[in-house]
Amino acid sequence: MPPTFRLGVLGGMGPLATVDFLHKLVLSTPAQRDQDHVPTVVWNVPQIADRQQAIAGAGPSPLPQLLDAVAGLNQAGATLIVMPCNTVHHWIEPLRRASPAPLLHIVDATLEVLEQRHAGEDGAGRAERCVGLVATKGALRARLYQDRLQQHGWRVLENTSEELEQLFTPGCYAIKRNALDEGSALLEKAAAALAARGARHLILACTEVPLALAHRQSPLLGLSVDPNQALAWSVLRHWEAVQGAQGTT
C-alpha cells in the first residue's frame, strides 16, 4: 500500500542545515527497519534568494522561488512540508495559502520543546524564564520568535548590533562556505555573550548555529534548544499518528 504520509523538505537554506535536519530526523525515528522511517522528498535548491537581504530591503524576495518549491513538493506527493531554516518563516503565511499540504512552523516546534522543559514549574522556575535568541538579523527584524516567546512569559535577550556584525553574521556565512573552524568559533562567542548576560536557555534560531556548537563540542549545547531537532520531533509526532491510524504492518 502506498504511504498516506510523505514529508516534503523545502531546503537549501543552507544545504548543510538541510542535511542536518534529515540526519536528526533519521536518528530520532524509533525504527527497527528501513520501512519504519519517514517517507521524504527533498527540495534542496541553494539558489533561493538570500532571506536576510530580502528582509532588509537589500535584495530580491525569495517568495517566487519558495512558491515554486512548494508547488514542486506538492506535485511530488508531499502531505506535510517543513523548512529547516528559521528566517524563511517570514514568508510562511503566503506559502501556506498556496499549498494543499500543510506547513509546520519551526517556531511552534521550538516553543513546544522549551515549554516542556518548564512544565509544572514553581515560582523559582518562572524566574528562570530568560532565553537568549541566537538568530540572524533578518529573523530578529521579522520578530519570528520574540513576540511568541513574550506571550508565553519569556524574557528575551538578543545579540547587540556589534555582536551581530562582528560575530554572528560572519560566523553564519563562514559555516555556509564550509569554514567550520572559523564559523563555529564566532558563533560560539555570539551565543556565549547571551549566556553571560543571564540567558538560562539559548534558542539556536539559525540552523547553522547548532552545527557550529556541535563542531566545537561547546558546553553551551547543554543550555540550548535546537529548532531543527524540535522540527524533527514535530514531524515524528505527525508520522506516528498516521502509522497509528493505519496500524502496523
Question: Shortest CA distance to 180 belongs to which of 212, 134, 210?
Answer: 212
| 85 given a catalytic annotation | yes
Q: Which residues contact 92 (CB under 8 A, 6 or more apart)?
A: 83, 103, 105
Of the residues 85, 104, 194, 212, which is catalytic? 85
Of the residues 135, 190, 206, 212, which is catalytic? 206
**What order of strands is seen across the sheet that includes strand 224-225?**
155-158, 130-135, 201-205, 224-225
Residue 49 near residue 59 (C-beta atoms within 8 A): yes
| 130 given a catalytic annotation | no
> What is the CB neighbour count within 10 angstroms for residue 112?
14
Residues identified as active-site: 85, 206
